[in-house]
Amino acid sequence: MRRWLWVLMLVLALPLFAAAPHVDRWANGFRVIVLPTTSSQVVSVELLIDYSAFDEPEKYQGIRQVLLTSMLQGSRSVDGTTIRRRLTAIGGNLEGRVHQDMLEFTVSVPSSKLGVALSALAEIVCHPLLSDEYIQAAIAQSQRKVNIPPVGALDTAAYLSYQLLYEGHPFASRGFGTPESLANITPEVVRDAYHAYILPNIAVMSIVGRCTQDDAGAQAQAAFGLWADHPRAKRQVAVNPTLAHSTLDLREENVKSTCVMLTFPVCGVTHKDYLAVRLVDILLGGGTGSRLFRSVREDLHLAYETATDFPSQTTCSHFSLFALTDSGYMDDTKSALTSALAQLQVTPVTEQELQRAKAYLKGRYLLSHQYSAQYAFDLAWYELIGLGAGYETSLPANIDAVTAKDIQRVARTYFTHYYLVVIIPQTTGSVESSTSSLGRLTARVQAE
């Protein structure tokens, strides 16, 4: 029954893969993608700017977050409150986000109000006020954010694993900066960053929803046509994190459960191995049919939650697998997690299981596009990172081209050395009560 459900879902969604977005490159280098759809009465606009963590000097880490927050406060002619009220009055919303690879601005409105969305977006991107008051308020907001500690065993393990893996790397501060780097940021530095990196020739805008290509293009031209261009500043060379050996880090924290997490450095989206690693992600953690769910939770009863995490980042990323368990089972849980990886390394995945993973991956991608905002983001992102807005039309064939040998190869290539982070409850004698398990765990990691 499940198999036929997947087939039906893919057949119904095939027109999404077949759609052909139109990409228009303007004289100033700005790329505008338009994809008319009839699935809803909404239109979504995504604007991505190729201003990444690699562009942040170590002294000014977090400057992108400060700049984005300042821009959202309003332009030289319209303050941010007025912009938000105009959008709220028509049921729309405007948001900005800092990613490791870029800055994102997104706005969704009823299709008849596309001009309002584009006007609001152009105000904050092309004509931000960037006053001292706005910038100082944004710095204070960032300073509060970096001081918020993670909550719970899983979030704490993820935070620590991330810090260990990306130590000394531009991704280390997650785009938020540190108390020390934020203290170095001044209004003048932020305004300089705006002029150096908020440029049309490194930006992509996508418009997805109930619209026409000609009308959407004309309205985009009216809003962004005067956006001035000049060469961008030179970027640092991207370097991927590497590990020479495996490392254990065990912490007592104010949490209620124990989290065992292994984290590996892996490739990014533009690498040839990306889809194979993504399928490993599905095989291990893709739903209730995945290997971790079946083995660690259902068969061995070692955890009440187990899953994987593999962020989609351009040049480099990380792959984590984790389980929430009891501190007395941490050694057995770690062994079960590594055994799942070892099985992929030594035994080729069966054709049936591989086909299930491929169907799951394609289905999840298609289902994400029932929301025009996600569809618009994907189109703009593929264009921004060099794969092209039409990449999704070849995506099913690229997924199908991955073989069992590819899965085995990437498992052997990437899943060798790791950071093992174990977070246990902070109770009297908690470490001592798990001495035997901790001793075995430490010995295993040292041996590897």
Higher pLDDT, 435 or 424: 424
What do you get for the CA distance between the two ends of the chain, in Å? Answer: 43
Domain 247-447 has CATH 3.30.830.10: yes
Residue 163 burial by Cβ neighbours in a 10 Å radius (0-12, 13-18, 19+):
middle
Cβ atoms 212, 42 nearer than 8 A: no
Cβ atoms 356, 289 nearer than 8 A: yes
Please, which residues have CB within 8 angstroms of residue 46's CB and are 6 or more apart in sequence?
104, 105, 106, 205, 206, 208, 373, 376, 377, 379, 380
Distance CA 223, CA 115 (A): 8
117-174 pLDDT tens trace? 999 999 999 999 999 999 999 999 999 999 888 999 999 999 999 999 999 999 999 9
Q: What is the pLDDT of residue 443?
A: 55
E strand or H helix that includes residue 443: helix 435-447
Q: What is the pLDDT of residue 13?
A: 45
Indicate the average pLDDT of the chain. 90
pLDDT category of residue 70 using cuts at 50, 70 and 90: very high
Nearest to 209, CA basis, from 363, 373, 90: 373
For residue 163, which amino acid is it? Q
Residues 19-149+170-224, CATH architecture: 2-Layer Sandwich (3.30)
Helices (H), 147-186: 152-165, 179-184
Please, which residues have CB within 8 angstroms of residue 404's CB and are 6 or more apart in sequence?
348, 349, 350, 351, 354
**pLDDT over 90 for what percent of the chain?**
80
Q: Give the CA distances from residue 101 to residues 89, 180, 315, 333, in Å, rounded to whole numbers and listed in that order.
A: 33, 22, 8, 34
**Domain spans, the chain:** 19-149+170-224, 247-447
Stated pTM of the model: 0.90
Please, which residues have CB within 8 angstroms of residue 153's CB and are 6 or more apart in sequence?
253, 255, 256, 257, 258, 259, 324, 423, 425
For residue 15, which amino acid is it? P
Overall size of the chain counted in residues: 448
E strand or H helix that includes residue 33: strand 31-36
Distance CA 409, CA 346 (A): 10
218-273 pLDDT tens trace? 999 999 999 988 888 787 777 889 899 999 999 999 999 999 999 999 999 999 99
365-383 pLDDT tens trace? 989 888 899 999 999 999 9
If you ran DSSP here, which 8-state letter would residue 369 be given?
T
Same fold, 19-149+170-224 and 247-447: yes
Cβ atoms 81, 74 nearer than 8 A: yes
Distance CA 115, CA 97 (A): 22
Nearest to 318, CA basis, from 97, 65, 61, 100: 100
Average pLDDT rounded to a whole number, residues 210-216: 94
Neighbours of 368 (CB within 10 A): 14
